[in-house]
A and B are shown apart, each in its own frame.
Chain A
């Protein structure tokens, strides 16, 4: 491991969440982007081949050191950490719709779910999983919502393109264009 790899390792150890490539770049201004990627690759294989308890994971448009899955139960049993609370069904339904249709307004989410979602939206926003990303041009200029980096982090996704494509799902569906034309 060269010095840059060690520096990256130290930074990821110190950080309490995923660190973006840009943020890592600030560690050493002389390091080029490809040198940084190289350092990350070195670190990743170092953890993989060196029989470590943690691994380098690419998540939420950044990089993070996480404990390996096989140790989860032992760590939780020793009560060293608590697993995050699981999201409720209504919260996940709302998140799924926002993830695919963002930026999306409340009315469209309610049309799909068939229930009012005001309080679910508020609690998702409080948890930082969604945020207001703009306003619609429509009547009353309703707020539009989108998912956040915390959403990706919660699911361990690198970015939104990792979500399954709608064509891959077993249920066929009308397109969003068709949907917007309906009462």
Chain B
């Protein structure tokens, strides 16, 4: 968010919109900056300043602020209208705004209290510390086809089966995956393992691709890199390097 400079009659001041948690926060800021008595808000001036600030907002953020702007304008107009002498029920149109602002100030005061408490508490540690996984050096892949298939078997075994009805298992499509990987590598030279999948990818798709890259790596067609355990795998075209 950009800084918005508002020029007051007496002194300029800066408003950084992202630091406000809502229109009331911004309004309070405007009031405090100019040391205005909250019970006697110069509504026309404040409403104009408020509008100036929200003009810089994108549409998405503006929604919350527009409602407040409309309200401020309505109050501004109500204040300008002449009022009947004898109307005892007349209430200052700003009264509700003042109530909301005071209420919001109180919430801010509570927030400060909560923050203090949270800070105090966070200086004490309980038990239940879970160690971070160790950082391992990348190891070159050294395994043969049988070991790999055994590993695939273990992964398949580990997938919990809650059989409510039988489905015909979808066979692995290693050829298809190999083709896709080579095609993508031909185009880009390198890629990430995760790029092979989208939200609709199935376990069979992931396994097919896994078998495919392992086989390609074994043949020396591609190079695999994984910076940390369970991290994303980088795949680069090895044949291109040796050829070039």
Contacts and interface: CB of A to CB of B under 8 A. Distances in A.
Q: How large is the interface on B (under 10, 10 to 19, 20 to 34, 35 or more residues)?
A: 35 or more
Contacts, number: 118
Q: How large is the interface on A (under 10, 10 to 19, 20 to 34, 35 or more residues)?
A: 35 or more
Contacts of B122: 72, 83-84, 86
Interface string B23-67: 110000000000000000000000000000000000000011001
The CB with the most chain A CB atoms within 10 A, among B102, B117, B120, B124, is that of B124
A17 B129 CA distance: 11
B114 A16 contact: no
Interface stretch (A20-28, A43-51, A134-142, A172-180): A172-180
Interface string A79-104: 01101101111101101110110000
Interface in A58-78: 59, 64-69, 72, 75
B126 interface: yes
A15 interface: yes
A81 B125 contact: yes
B167 to A, nearest CB: 32
Interface stretch (B6-14, B104-112, B173-181): B104-112
Contact of A93 (B64, B108, B123): B108
A66 B107 contact: no
B126 A171 contact: no
A171 B124 contact: no
B115 interface: yes
A112 interface: yes
B99 interface: yes
B99 A174 contact: yes
A116 interface: yes
B110 A96 contact: yes
A96 B111 contact: yes
Contact of A114 (B24, B96, B102, B109): B24
Contacts of A107: none
B61 to A, nearest CB: 10
A162 to B, nearest CB: 9
B127 interface: yes
A87 B96 contact: no
B129 A81 contact: yes
Contact of B129 (A80, A88, A116): A80
22 contacts: A17-B126, A64-B126, A66-B124, A66-B125, A72-B125, A81-B129, A86-B118, A93-B108, A96-B107, A97-B107, A100-B110, A112-B100, A113-B104, A114-B64, A114-B68, A114-B100, A114-B104, A116-B63, A153-B121, A163-B110, A174-B99, A174-B103
